[in-house]
Structures are given as C-alpha cells and as structure tokens.
C-alpha cells in the first residue's frame, strides 16, 4: 500500500471511533486508489463506468448492436467500453480490416465531438463536428451509408443505427438553469438524430439534466420509444444534476405515422 495512503487510513482509523463520515472517507479513498484506479487504467475517463452500469442494468449492447454513434465522444471512454463489450460478445471492429471475420460479426462505431484534438480509440472512427448542426447529422448518415453495408438486412438507407449514445455536455456557465437549458438543447439534437437515423426497435442512451424542461423532454422520448427509463449511475456524483435517460425499442415511425412535429412540435 502506498505510504501516504497508509498514513491517511491509520489517521482515520485511530484518531477517533469511526463515524459515518470517516467510514465513507475510507471507502472513498479505497475506491479511488485500488479497484477504480486499476480499472481506470483501462479507460480514458471514469465516464466508462457510468456506461458500464447502464449496460449492466438495461442491456444496451447485444450481438445485433453493430452500428453505433457516440455523440460527445471525447476523450473516448464510452467508445472504449463499447468496443470492449462488443468484443466480449464475439464481434470485431470493421476497422480491423480482418477478412476472416464474417460480415455479420463486425461492428462500426463513430464518435462525434466538437473537440478538434480528439483521436479515435482503437476500434472506432472519429468525426469532429457540432451535433447542433444539420451538416453533422448528414455526415453521420453518409458515414454509415458508405461504410456500414457490410452485411445484414438494410432496413432503410436513412436508418442505419442500432444505438445512439450521447454523453454531451455544454461548458457550464455556473447558472444552473442556463446550464440545464443548454444541455437540454444537446439532448434534443441527439433525439432528433435518433428520430431520423435509428432503426426501429433500437435504443438510445443519453445524458440529461434535472431542471424545468426535463419532464417535457421525457414526454418527447415517450412518443418515440416504447420504454423510457431514468437512471442515475453510482459512478455519477451525487451532487451533479446529471442523470441518464434510456429509451428502449424505438417505434417504427413509418408504421405508426409518427412525424417530426409529433415529437418536437412545430
Ligand atoms: C462529458 S464529455 C464526454 C465524455 C465521453 N463520453 C467519454 O466517455 O470520454 C462531454 C463532451 O461533449 C462534447 N460536446 C458538447 N457540446 C457538443 C456539441 N454541440 N457537439 C458535439 N459534442 C459536444 C464536449 O466537447 C465534450 O467532449
């Protein structure tokens, strides 16, 4: 054990009888230094643990999750988790260019972020772009059209995606309502992309923010998805107002006649 840590733990242990707070502190320190730190080495950031918890509870990855867009990609921990999980399920990234892998065992992940410095993690592709811009949506569509036809039935050339993930977050200004509204705009943009490009019966995971617009947004999701869940992963700090919405099983918008106006209003 690291000496500094050992002395801190001893201090906590012997200074006085353990209180609720000191126990919490010891657990916090232990979490940060051993299990988490070790696992953190596998990922670019702790964000991966949130996605892992979401996946464990809502099973968002399966052998059929082969076309994934990761909005707010940087630095890339969610995509890293997705690659690891899909590898465990026996799928391999298209980027490996391994001709011995059957086409229906390949996956394609595209990360999208404003960050111009970000680089694709192993097994993924990366696009610098603003998800608030229609041009970025077209580039995503174009990417999956061009690269995605490597097997499996094509439902609709415009709807190639099996999973939309969004962990986007604005640069917070410190005013909770303004931050909330900024983040909800990002959620709307992600939901719009899912409306247009996600296949029926497929899922979305997105970070949302508590605040005045949240229940309106949840209602929009309920028009588009059969089941909508709200979830706060343990890896998300208690004091943070972030939580995640998981939309399972998108309705077939053609069959159900769901228009953009039905979901997003005029
Ligand atoms: C919390 S970080 C995402 C962490 C990431 N999921 C991971 O696992 O590494 C939020 C990201 O959202 C991105 N972002 C914010 N607004 C965006 C926008 N309009 N378009 C694309 N990305 C955006 C930021 O640049 C930032 O990299």
> Can 37 be counted among the known catalytic residues?
no
**What number does the ligand 1 atom closest to the CA of 80 have?**
8
For ligand 1, say whether the CB of 12 is within 6 Å of any of its atoms. Answer: no
Distance of CA 27 to the CA centre of its chain: 27
Between CA 266 and CA 263 the distance in angstroms is: 9
pLDDT tens-place string over residues 217-251: 999 999 999 999 999 999 888 777 899 999 999 99
Residues 125-135, mean pLDDT to the nearest whole number: 97
> What per-residue confidence (pLDDT) applies to 60?
98
**What number does the ligand 1 atom closest to the CA of 171 have?**
15
Which residue is listed with tokens 């993924």? 124
Is residue 217 classed as helix, strand or coil in its secondary structure? helix
pTM: 0.85
* Whether pLDDT at 1 is above 60: no
For ligand 1, say whether the CB of 168 is within 6 Å of any of its atoms. Answer: yes
CA distance readout (Å), 8 to 24, 34, 35, 40: 13, 15, 18, 22
Helices (H), the chain: 3-15, 20-33, 35-40, 47-58, 77-88, 134-147, 176-197, 214-224, 253-256, 260-264
CB 139 within 8 A of CB 127: yes
pLDDT tens-place string over residues 4-39: 333 333 333 334 454 555 455 445 554 555 556 556
Question: What are the boundaries of each domain within the chain?
Answer: 1-41, 45-264
Q: Give CATH for domain 45-264.
A: 3.40.50.150
Tell me which residue of 206, 210, 209 sits closest to 228, measured CA to CA. Answer: 206
């Amino acid at each position: 054990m690291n000496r500094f840590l050992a002395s801190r733990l001893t201090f906590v242990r012997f200074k006085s009888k353990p209180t609720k707070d000191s126990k919490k502190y010891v657990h916090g320190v232990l979490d940060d230094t051993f299990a988490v730190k070790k696992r953190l080495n596998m990922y670019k950031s702790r964000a991966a643990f949130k996605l892992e918890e979401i996946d464990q509870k809502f099973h968002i990855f399966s052998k059929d999750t082969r076309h994934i867009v990761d909005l707010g990609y940087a630095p890339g921990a969610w995509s890293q988790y997705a690659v690891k999980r899909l590898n465990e399920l026996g799928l391999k990234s298209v980027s490996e260019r391994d001709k011995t892998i059957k086409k229906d065992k390949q996956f394609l992940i595209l990360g999208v972020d404003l960050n111009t410095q970000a680089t694709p993690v192993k097994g993924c592709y990366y696009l610098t772009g603003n998800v608030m811009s229609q041009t970025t949506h077209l580039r995503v569509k174009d990417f999956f059209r061009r690269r995605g036809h490597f097997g499996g039935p094509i439902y609709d050339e415009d709807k190639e995606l099996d999973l939309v993930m969004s962990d986007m977050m604005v640069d917070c200004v410190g005013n909770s309502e303004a931050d909330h509204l900024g983040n909800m705009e990002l959620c709307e943009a992600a939901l719009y992309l899912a409306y247009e490009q996600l296949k029926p019966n497929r899922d979305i995971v997105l970070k949302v923010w508590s605040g005045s617009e949240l229940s309106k947004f949840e209602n929009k999701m309920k028009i588009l998805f059969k089941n909508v869940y709200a979830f706060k992963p343990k890896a998300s700090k208690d004091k943070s107002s972030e939580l995640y919405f998981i939309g399972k099983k998108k309705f077939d918008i053609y069959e159900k006649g769901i228009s953009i106006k039905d979901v997003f209003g005029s």
